[in-house]
Amino acid sequence: MANYYDVVVVGGGTSGFVAATAAARKGARTLLVERYGFVGGSSVSGYPFLGFYAGNGEKVVGGIGEEVVGRLIEAGGSRGHIRGGRWQTAEEYEFSLTPYEPEVLKFVAQEMLLEAGVSLMLHTYLIGAIVREDRLIGIEVANKSGRSIIYANCFIDATGDADLAYLAGAPFQIGDEVQNVTLMFTVGGIDLERLVQEIEADGRIKGRGEWHTRVVRGPILDSDEPAIVHLAGHMDLWDDRPPLTFTAVSWKKNQASFNITRTVGIDPTNARDLVRAEISERRNVMETYRRFRERIPGMEGCELITTAPQVGVRESRRIEGEYCLQGEDVVNCREFDDGLARGSYPIDIHDPKGGKTQFTFLKDGGSYSIPYRCCVPKFIDGLIVTGRCISATHEALGSTRLQSTCMALGEAAGVAASLCRPSKTPRDIDGAELKGLLRNDGAIV
């Protein structure tokens, strides 16, 4: 049957493209459904990969995530992991990041999918789910050609918003107030060293000596000289408003992507709110960019290069799975027998009300495991959930949402889905067998 697959992944973002690649590499006939005309999702917004290494220096993500970094380097889109930064906490944990060019990631992700034999269904929106006796057996999608139904033995929800789980009737949580949203933007023509001087002088960039403020140097794409790859602090852009907390990442000379604007009170599963967020954030970006030019030494002649494909959503629906990862599990670096992926980033919660970002560091700068059960929704069979919308509390999500962790979860979800052939459901999968397979493939579990 042309529209029957072993595995269908909905959402070709950070976690979904890895999940589809992993499933197809295990021999599953795999389809990827993605609403945009490219793959990569949130990962093409201009953020660096964070969380490949824990605060104590331990490497916590390998497997396909690490392969993605290697492929980015090969394609000229990254100089790899940059280590040696420091969180200025009492314990002085390591801060590392992996900057890359988002346009190259779109290409790398696409080629990995095609090489693995995944069928791509781009420009296609998930609009419905077909459930028989509590098992998801099909989905309805819409695109320029009209509507169609696709059947599979196992589905993976990698939409970031748990759209598929929701349509299938799986239980989920969404807070009354979720983390704020941000439209990333990239600016060229900046004297980044001048920005560092501003931090050192406690000038227009505040927060010298504070734990949040960071300056990281490393290699960039167009120079062998170490350059600024990461800056964080608080920018003083207005006389009558508090300084804006920002992070900036750079992979090219005189250029950086900024995470600085915020819109609060947005429900990312509400279409009207999303429109409101886009309008508000585009205004914020233009106003902030004008302020950069007027107010920040080193940015007088800067130019806006691009904005992300859409507002960045930090938090949305979280499914109710067979286990719900807790904030304490993360902070206390808990291990689980069915742990399939590791996270290590501090709990990073951007205030739903727009106040200061809250960070909670992990015990001894360590890492925690994420159980397979967090990816298996209660009550509905035939479905695995990965990425931002796994079963985790608001606090735990503040750490699991990082891209490296989402890629590790995606690999586990893809392999688990492939094991469901010919007729098992994700609940039947033996966590220990899955763990062994992932470890053999280089994943760190």
Ligand X SMILES: Cc1cc2nc3c(=O)[nH]c(=O)nc-3n(C[C@H](O)[C@H](O)[C@H](O)COP(=O)(O)OP(=O)(O)OC[C@H]3O[C@@H](n4cnc5c(N)ncnc54)[C@H](O)[C@@H]3O)c2cc1C
Rounded to the nearest whole angstrom, what is the least distance from the CB of residue 229 to ligand X in the complex? 12
Rounded to the nearest whole angstrom, what is the least distance from the CB of residue 297 to ligand X in the complex? 25
Rounded to the nearest whole angstrom, what is the least distance from the CB of residue 33 to ligand X in the complex? 6
Residue 437: other Cβ atoms inside 10 A: 18
Strands 244-249 and 223-235: antiparallel
Rounded to the nearest whole angstrom, what is the least distance from the CB of residue 403 to ligand X in the complex? 3
> Are 20 and 72 within 8 A, CB to CB?
no
Give the binding site for ligand X (CB under 6 A).
10-16, 33-36, 41-43, 47-51, 125-126, 158-161, 163, 182, 184, 259, 312-314, 387-388, 401-404, 406
User: In the complex with ligand X, which residue's Cβ is closer, 163 or 395?
Assistant: 163
Rounded to the nearest whole angstrom, what is the least distance from the CB of residue 188 to ligand X in the complex? 19
Rounded to the nearest whole angstrom, what is the least distance from the CB of residue 124 to ligand X in the complex? 6
Q: At what angle do helices 14-25 and 63-74 cross, to 10 degrees?
A: 100
Rounded to the nearest whole angstrom, what is the least distance from the CB of residue 401 to ligand X in the complex? 4
User: In the complex with ligand X, which residue's Cβ is closer, 245 or 259?
Assistant: 259
Residues in the chain: 445
Amino acid identity at 137 = I
User: In the complex with ligand X, which residue's Cβ is closer, 72 or 406?
Assistant: 406
User: In the complex with ligand X, which residue's Cβ is closer, 16 or 352?
Assistant: 16
User: In the complex with ligand X, which residue's Cβ is closer, 15 or 153?
Assistant: 15
Tokens of 321: 């799975």
Residue with smallest beta-carbon separation from ligand X: 13
Rounded to the nearest whole angstrom, what is the least distance from the CB of residue 123 to ligand X in the complex? 9
Strands 318-319 and 205-206: unpaired
Q: Is the dihedral of CA 66, 402, 181, 293 positive or negative?
A: negative
> Are 432 and 338 within 8 A, CB to CB?
yes
User: In the complex with ligand X, which residue's Cβ is closer, 160 or 365?
Assistant: 160
Strands 205-206 and 223-235: antiparallel
User: In the complex with ligand X, which residue's Cβ is closer, 158 or 235?
Assistant: 158
User: In the complex with ligand X, which residue's Cβ is closer, 123 or 363?
Assistant: 123
